[in-house]
Amino acid sequence: MKMWFRKQPAEQAQNTLFALLNRYQQSGDFVHFHHPQSPQPFWISYFGTLIDVEILHRDILPYLNKTAFTSLEGVKAALPFEDVLITSDLQQIQDQLLEGSVLIQLHEQDSECALVRAEMKKAREVTIPEEEYSVVGPKEAFVESITTNLNLVRKRLPISELKVKEFTIGTLSKTKVAVLYIEGITNEDNVNTVCQRLTDLQFNQILDSSIIAQLIADNGNSIFPQLIDTERPDRVAGVLAEGSVVILADGSSHALIGPISVMGLFNAFEDYYVNWQMASAFRLIRVFAVSFSILVTPIYVAVLTYHYQLIPKDLMVTLVSSRRNIPLPPILEAIILELTIELLREAGARLPSKVGQTIGIVGGIVIGTAAVDAGLTSNVLLIIVALAALASFTTPVYRMGNTIRLLRFPFLLLADLWGLLGIAVAFIFLMIHLLRLRSLGRPYLEPIYPPRLKDLKDSFIRLPFSLQSTRPVFLQTKDRERFSKQQASEVNDIDE
């Protein structure tokens, strides 16, 4: 019987504001004190590490000390804040306190209180983008605060159709995630897919938008990114106007764009800031660089292991003499060099920048030359591997660079197994994988398959803006036209 009675008061006590504040006082940074020397005494509580003390000193305490108020409505009228919340809902009080609000009670045992938002807004300054740096064009990048990021995007799309849907994801991190789209342009299916996947998400901590990208991807086992991440607000504004859906997460300086096609991985936004001829040439160079990077080392291995007859006779002497003193078969040579470059890259990434530069010089020049002199590798292969590594970084999306680095290894192994035929087999598997892949339900390989001739105008090449009057077909937008083509193509006759 005693146990019955003992339980109930404890449960009751848990559910009051007083008990809640008592529990919070176990944290050293929780401040809870009584202000008796004002016209009306009150109790104030807050997390000292979450609020901006300036706001407390400047905007809250002076007003509370000056005016006499008899109720919480009086408190609300006295304070110069537009969103003072009066509530007794414990869940809401908890959430608000942990976001950086100041809690004001009239008496210690009150269950109703007033909450004033006073959070500390410290984030990085808006600076130059690091990964997607462009020589021409704006140089603003996203920061970790979602309010600043939304501000950067809304500045560039000051229309009322830009809609923002907010979600809170992550049981421990309670990250604010925002989904942006333009109503009237974006296809509702895309938006609904994204929103549904986000609400179905069950995860404990979302530290970065890339975790969201991995969790809602169509195929988590694929090394190809199914959502592009970008840190440029102008790119986000551009794709929103095309009809994509954008996901922003608090605490992350990257935004996610979807749905994408494989051509989006080769498009840098700088292409729109230079002439269309240069943009087309650079895109073609990028496509060539990626294929070169994946294929050239496997072709070297295949030709030197199986197909001596393919080498042109002028090159034959150089190649054979470069391999004369090497004790290893071509595949081992290639794998050793690839692994060395991967080691250099990983080491350079972990070291602080001052030491990292030394490693770059030491690794790149000294180790390479020494390896050739020691007879461990041939100088032809060294050039090939170095060029391939360089070419893998021409993709504007950083994730694609990682993909290409990894893709090279299956090609290498199959080239060692069956020569050129092995490369063809690896290419077949790659082709099938890309055909099967989907991004937010849309085929990944558009506009190549299903063939959409209209979308080719902005894929391998960029045609001039005057020819781009329609939005990309693969986004299935509701509003197909960017601008009226007839008006744009009216040409005056001679001397008219």
Partner 1 sequence: MKTAIKSEYLVSPFLVLFLVHGMQFGVGVLSFQRDLAKIVGQDAWISILVTGIIVHILIWMMYTMLNKDKGDLMTIHQRTFGKWLGNLLSLLFIVYVLALSITVLRSYIEIVQVWMFPLLKTWPFALVMLLSVYYVVSSGFRIVTGVCFLAVVIPLYLVLTFFVPIEFSNFRNLLPIFDHSLSEIAKSIKGTALAFSGFEFLLFYYPFIKQPESSQKWAHFGNIGTTSLYLLIMIVTLGFFDQGYLNKVIWPTLMMWKIIKLPFVERFEIIGVTSWGVVMLPIICLMFWSASRGIKEIFKLKQRSVLVILLFICLIVCCLLIDRESIQQYNTFIGTIGFYTLFGYIPFLFICYHIRFIMRGK
Using CB under 8 A as the criterion, which residues of the chain lie in contact with partner 1 when the complex forms?
306-307, 309-313, 418-421, 423-425, 427-429, 431-433, 435-436, 445, 448-451
Name the residue type at position 336.
I
Do 410 and 426 touch, CB atoms closer than 8 A?
A: yes
CB of 220 to partner 1, least distance (A): 17
CB of 146 to partner 1, least distance (A): 35
CB of 420 to partner 1, least distance (A): 5
Sign of the CA dihedral with 384 first, then 390, 395, and 399 last: positive
Q: Residue 284 or 431: which CB sits closer to partner 1?
A: 431
CB of 473 to partner 1, least distance (A): 12
Strands across the sheet containing 245-249: 162-169, 175-182, 245-249, 255-258, 228-230
Strand ranges (DSSP E) for 223-372? 228-230, 245-249, 255-258
Distances (CA, A) of 420 to 190, 289, 335, 376, 378: 41, 20, 18, 25, 21
Q: Tell me 365's DSSP state.
A: I
CB of 386 to partner 1, least distance (A): 20
Q: Residue 66 or 436: which CB sits closer to partner 1?
A: 436
Q: Residue 141 or 299: which CB sits closer to partner 1?
A: 299
Q: Residue 336 or 425: which CB sits closer to partner 1?
A: 425
Greatest CA span in the chain, whole angstroms? 106
**In the numeric block, which tokens belong to residue 59?**
């905007």
Sign of the CA dihedral with 295 first, then 300, 304, and 308 last: positive
Q: Residue 432 or 463: which CB sits closer to partner 1?
A: 432
CB of 309 to partner 1, least distance (A): 5
The packing angle between helices 330-350 and 398-436, to 10°, is 130
CB of 189 to partner 1, least distance (A): 12
Q: Residue 115 or 448: which CB sits closer to partner 1?
A: 448
Q: Residue 109 or 196: which CB sits closer to partner 1?
A: 196
CB of 310 to partner 1, least distance (A): 5
Q: Residue 36 or 220: which CB sits closer to partner 1?
A: 220
Beta-ladder partners of 103? 45, 115
Q: Residue 32 or 452: which CB sits closer to partner 1?
A: 452
CB of 432 to partner 1, least distance (A): 5
Name the residue type at position 109.
Q
Pairwise CA distance, residues 464 & 231, whole Å: 25
Pairwise CA distance, residues 149 & 206, whole Å: 17
DSSP per-residue letters across 103-141: EEESSTT-S-EEEEE-B----PPP---SSS--SSS----
Q: Residue 39 or 450: which CB sits closer to partner 1?
A: 450
- Helix, coil or strand: residue 327: coil
Distances (CA, A) of 453 to 242, 260, 279, 460, 474: 17, 17, 19, 12, 11
Distance from the first to the final alpha carbon of the chain: 104
Share in percent of the chain as helix, strand, coil (round to 5): 50, 10, 35
CB of 331 to partner 1, least distance (A): 16
Buried b (16+ CB within 10 A) or exposed e, 198-236: beebeeeebebbbbbbebbbbeeebebbbbbbbbbbbbb
Q: Residue 450 or 464: which CB sits closer to partner 1?
A: 450
Q: Residue 240 or 299: which CB sits closer to partner 1?
A: 299
Pairwise CA distance, residues 388 & 365, whole Å: 16
CB of 155 to partner 1, least distance (A): 39
CB of 340 to partner 1, least distance (A): 28
Locate all alpha helices (DSSP H) within 15-128, ordered by sequence.
Answer: 17-24, 53-55, 61-66, 72-78, 90-99
Q: Residue 236 or 303: which CB sits closer to partner 1?
A: 303
CB of 262 to partner 1, least distance (A): 13
